[in-house]
A and B are shown apart, each in its own frame.
Chain A
Amino acid sequence: MATIASKRRTGASRQRTSTHEGFLTHRKGRWLKISALLAVALIALYIFVPLPGQHFGSTWLGYTLGTIGALLILWLTMLGVRKRAITPGRWSLKAWTSAHVYLGLLLIVVGTLHSGFEFGWNVHTLAWGLMMLVIVSGMFGIWVYATLPRALSDNRYDEDGAITEKQMVEALRSIDRQIHDAAQPLDSEAAALVNRSLEEDPFAGSFWNRLTGRYPRDATRSAASGLRQMRANKPRVADDPIEKVDALLTRKEAMLARMRRHLKLKSWLQAWLYVHVPVTFALIAALSAHVVSVFFYW
């Protein structure tokens, strides 16, 4: 990828890129290489440097690793600020994310070595555990970021090209209006069924419904099957309004399914952050407790 820094006439400079390069491969995996190298070096130090005593944490190497680890955690947390503070300057959030991911993974090595593999039921191990939880959730996030966007994009395409979430909602509304008009001749029992589908909010449903994409008590679904049952019990007539409504309900179901797939993918893209971020705060609390207790009791 070509990155040209062109001098601009206003004095402000700008990074120019000519292709899409994802955060995982940012600058041909610069942060991956740096982190891997550091990990190898730290492990070598741990193995080959002779150190006295039992509590690894209180040796010079232990302190160093601990300090690096704590600072790293604070820096990793700063991603949340960087993402939202749109200050001038030649930073790129993509570069930050790239560094965040690989240096975050490096923490597994830093933190675990720092512990000296001594685990127990105490605040120190709690901090380590929370750290690992954040990291594992981060790894899950990477998996989500790497796989779901493609599915999200695929779901938006149909024979006329891609449609947006707004257009999906519009399409549903439009079908609703058509159902409403087509349902005028129906008897009150059938109309009540259809009405429940019309009253249904496409965004309704619990968080769980969204994540799973399953909506067991869906009104459109039950309206369609209800109508079909009614029609089965009636003599067949030409131009049966029920038939017309049924066809429209089927169309609505298809669009609803698509919309829900869309919402499901979008939820997954965000849901993991609801673990990653709160646990980060828990981690910082535990980390503070760990640091304070270390300085008091050792």
Chain B
Amino acid sequence: MSEVYKVAIIGSGPAGMSAASRAAARKLDHVLLEKSGHLSDTIFKYQKGKHVMATPSQLILRSDQDFDAGKKEDILDKWTARTADLGVNVKYNAEVKSIRGTGPAIEGSVQKIVTRARDGSSTTTEVQRFAPPYAIELTSGETVMAENVVLAIGTQGNPNLMRCPGSDLPHVTYQLDDPYAILDEHIIVVGTGDAGIENARGLAEDSAQGNVVTVLNRAPKSTNVRESFPTAKEPNAKALVEDDAIGKLAIRYETETKAVEPGWITLATRDGEERIRCDRIIARIGSAPPRGFVEGCGIEFASADRLAFPTLSPSFESTAPGIFVIGALAGYPLIKHCMNQGYDVIEFISGNTDLKPADEPLLEAKFADLPGRKSVNEWLELLRGNIAILDGMTALQMREFMLDSDARFYKKGETIFEKNAPGSSLFAIADGSVHVRIDPNDSSKVVPIPKGSIFGEVGLISGRRRGATIVAAEDCICVEISRNAALKLQSQVPTAKRAIERISTERQLLQMFGSGLSSDDVREVVDTAKIMQVRAGEPVITEGADDKDVFVIRVGSMIVEKDIGGKPVFLSYLPAGSYVGEMALIDGGQRTATVRAAIKSEVIRIDGEAFRRVLDAKPALLERARNDMEGRRRTNAFIESKKDGFSGVVDLYSEQAKFLVAQGLGEATDVLLIDERLCVGCDNCEKACADSHDGLSRLDREAGKSFAHLHVPTSCRHCEHPHCMADCPPNAIHRGPDGEVFINDTCIGCGNCQRNCPYGVIRMDKVPPKKPSLLNWLLFGNGPGPGEPPYKWSKKNTKYTGDPQVDEALDRKKAIKCDMCAGIEGGPSCVRACPTGAAIRVSPDEFLTVARLENEGA
């Protein structure tokens, strides 16, 4: 242990590299530790030739390194050269295993680490923090000492490790660089995702390689590869199954590893244990987020939420003194932000405390239109001071939060949003107050919401349309918090989460049961209400049970089923915002049907007794609940009577409903459904889609699943909580004013959304050149005609200019998906252009009704 560096920077991504460059420029005594053999492994692994984007464009870059949009290879070359010029002290192949303080124990500073097991139980370990200098231990066994540590390891994480005895032996590996370099070995591949499949197939491609490759699959064999290989792409899985069929390699189904020893492996199969030869194991079983490692360093996360980031001070210092966190790991996934933070953090560590953050101009612009001349910091203070849910935030969090939010001034009487408008953002009142209109026809019937409170939470939580119109009661300033910022806020600030939950529960109840109720009436109900997570398929109410609770669906949707003649029959579909369970409460007796989650959902469980008391006190409410109940009863009776008559009809109706739910309709807001009995396969729907969107079709009519003549083509369903939004670095995916989920121009083409969408509806493609007009084609046959032009035509007709800037833009691939023809008069072109009426776009609650049974039964 010779030297103690002033600062050790871990991870050489844009954040860490920029930090090290600053340190080198400042002649600070530093070391940059990088796991891989090159700089910036995340970017290094982008696909070849990927165009890297430099968003947000208004943000100025503050770094000793250059960064402009361009080819990944060029950018990395520049960085590597500049890093050498600056004399950065880089240590490659230096993977950090642990970071320990070597100073005295810090009093009262104990890190609590909660680990969750698969079965849901959790254990808490407490770790005493020690003061710097830190001993940074590498996997090579070497130790590096530093006073300050900058953690910039990104969010890619490490591969999941095998756990069986012997899994620490050296021939158990997690990566395969060159499958063709391995010859004459017995190899076991664990994991049947795309990575594992590609490795296995590469190893067995040529019999001359002489490898004996066995792939272990936990799932049972099935003729449907989507079931036996749920995490792989279908063509990959099919190819693997083929290789197995012709004996190139072997797939072992329902098999797991039991133990590893040199040269051999023991497998646990359905028919008992088996020991086979094995010279090498390649485990491709996904990767774990770096959270465990980070927590182990004494760094606290804001909450247990999967989305949470470390708790940081304005100068990026974590709860472990002297350890700083920057970059994607700190919650800033864009390269520019990362690089700026790298610069800033070194300035802070060097004692330059009055450095203005680089995002200052962005925030200045955010506040520019508000009345009263205040500085950014004053505005941030005002918001934090006035808005209750922002109370627990740090200055750094406030800045980040405002980057994704908007502050607006509304004049008295101005409408903030209208009932039934789609919208998933949350509003908070920083100054003034607003009115909720409870009667659309009478503008004098209002409920006030005071300064400091929030509104719009229903849209945020359920993803459904706005429940009421909101108008400014006086001149006021509100912050519109985008869905992403609101989700982040809830995971960062647990008190904010609880406050939002309580308000939303209360409002949801008041709204559902109509006027005449005040918050005092429902206080007891709200206090006893519990928010529960329900997994897809899990029941909240079971037919024949004796409980009396009422459930409000907060997130997701439910289906109601009843056992008729020994078969569960689908009765109805309940979207978020509805309630169930009132029948047993009002009429007594056992539950008459089963209610289960169509998709992963959240319900508010309301204590039956407490609710009963509200009903008793409010006869009007009881009356309403009775009416709702009667309506449901009639539906059920109707279905049951049909079941007696021609049982085939009800079975079909029920099976179709279940099929649609299995296709994820439970989370859709607007889905394309094709009746195969009407579809003549003309593909005019696809052509119309292409012709109304830059010549690229966002719909694959033939692909997708079918059941009993009902076809769900591959096209966006505009999910209530879109999975595609989860991980978009520039935050380019939004819900538009008509409820559509769309991608705007800031897309950087990273492909995350394509990977995240479970329905495979996003494609990455470049825009084809413009076609000659329809008339030109009809009369003279010019151009490729209606629909998406063939690839060849596009290639031939792309007019390259020779200017690399322009040509690059012509070739740039971006994420493309259905936008529901937003803003086009008449609505979705696919539906308008279908000659037979086979294609419709519907919301599941419009479609899954008994009306269907009446129509189909005829």
Contacts and interface: CB of A to CB of B under 8 A. Distances in A.
Interface string A265-287: 01001100000000000000000
Interface string A6-40: 00111111111111111100100000000000000
B684 A9 contact: no
A154 B836 CA distance: 19
Contacts of B827: 8, 12-16, 90
Given A18-B842, A90-B826, A149-B678, A83 B706 contact: no
B706 A162 contact: yes
Nearest to A5: B827
Interface in B801-858: 822-829, 831-838, 840, 842, 846-847, 849, 851-852, 855
B246 A178 contact: yes
Given A91-B832, A94-B837, A164-B703, A84 B826 contact: no
A278 B367 CA distance: 65
Interface string A80-95: 0101111011111110
B221 interface: no
Most buried by B among A22, A165, A170: A22
A208 interface: no
Contacts of B836: 22-23, 94, 97, 145
A123 B703 CA distance: 49
B28 interface: no
Most buried by B among A84, A156, A270: A84
B679 interface: yes
Contact of B834 (A81, A94, A152, A162): A94
A169 to B, nearest CB: 12
A12 B824 contact: yes
A161 B238 contact: no
A199 interface: no
B223 interface: yes
Nearest to A266: B681
B224 A160 contact: yes
A156 to B, nearest CB: 7
A263 to B, nearest CB: 11
A152 B681 contact: yes
A178 B245 contact: yes
Contact of A161 (B245, B707, B826, B829): B707
A120 B836 CA distance: 38
A15 B827 CA distance: 7
B688 interface: yes
Contacts of A8: 737-738, 827
Contacts, number: 166
B677 A12 contact: no
Nearest to B677: A150
Interface in B643-679: 673, 675-679
Nearest to B239: A174
Contact of A153 (B422, B709, B847): B709
Interface residue SS majority, chain A: mixed
Contact of A22 (B224, B706, B837): B837
Most buried by A among B235, B709, B852: B709
Interface residues of B, number: 62
A18 B675 CA distance: 12
Given A13-B827, A157-B706, A178-B242, A18 B835 contact: no
B786 A148 contact: no
Nearest to B235: A170
A101 B711 CA distance: 26
A177 interface: yes
B832 A162 contact: no
B369 interface: no
A18 B846 contact: yes
B618 interface: no
Contact of A13 (B675, B681, B826, B849): B826
A152 to B, nearest CB: 7
B680 A81 contact: no
B671 to A, nearest CB: 12
A160 B223 contact: yes
A201 interface: no
A84 B702 contact: no
A12 B825 contact: yes
Interface string A154-191: 00110111101110001000100110011000000000
B263 to A, nearest CB: 30
B816 to A, nearest CB: 17
B400 interface: no
A159 B227 CA distance: 14
B326 to A, nearest CB: 40
Interface in B717-763: 736-738
Given A17-B840, A19-B855, A97-B836, A86 B737 contact: no
Contacts of B692: 86
Given A88-B825, A88-B826, A170-B238, A94 B835 contact: yes
Contacts of B795: none
Given A10-B822, A13-B826, A93-B834, A166 B702 contact: yes
Contacts of B711: 153, 162
B421 interface: yes
A10 B825 CA distance: 9
Contacts of A14: 738, 826-828
Contact of B242 (A86, A92, A152, A174): A174
Nearest to A160: B224
Nearest to A90: B826
Nearest to B709: A153
Contacts of A13: 825-827
B234 to A, nearest CB: 9
B774 interface: yes
B823 A12 contact: yes
Contacts of B679: 149, 153
A61 to B, nearest CB: 34
Contacts of A153: 676-677, 679, 706, 709, 711
A19 B834 CA distance: 14
A83 B777 CA distance: 14
Contacts of A9: 418, 421-422, 737-738
Nearest to A80: B778
Contacts of B633: none
Contact of A20 (B246, B682, B838): B838
B835 A10 contact: no
A22 B825 CA distance: 23
Nearest to B670: A16
A185 to B, nearest CB: 13
B691 interface: yes
A145 B680 contact: yes
Nearest to A147: B677
Nearest to B689: A86
Nearest to A1: B855
B705 interface: yes
Interface string B690-704: 011000000000110
Contacts of B676: 149-150, 152-153
B703 to A, nearest CB: 6
Contacts of B709: 150, 153
Contacts of B682: 269-270
7 contacts: A12-B825, A18-B846, A18-B849, A20-B673, A21-B837, A22-B678, A270-B682
Given A152-B681, A164-B702, 12 more contacts: A17-B842, A22-B838, A23-B835, A23-B837, A86-B832, A90-B826, A152-B676, A153-B679, A153-B711, A170-B235, A174-B242, A266-B681
Interface of B: 223-224, 235, 238, 242, 245-246, 418, 421-422, 673, 675-682, 684, 687-688, 691-692, 702-703, 705-707, 709, 711, 736-738, 774, 778, 785-786, 822-829, 831-838, 840, 842, 846-847, 849, 851-852, 855
Interface of A: 1-2, 8-23, 26, 81, 83-86, 88-94, 96-97, 145, 148-150, 152-153, 156-157, 159-162, 164-166, 170, 174, 177-178, 181-182, 266, 269-270
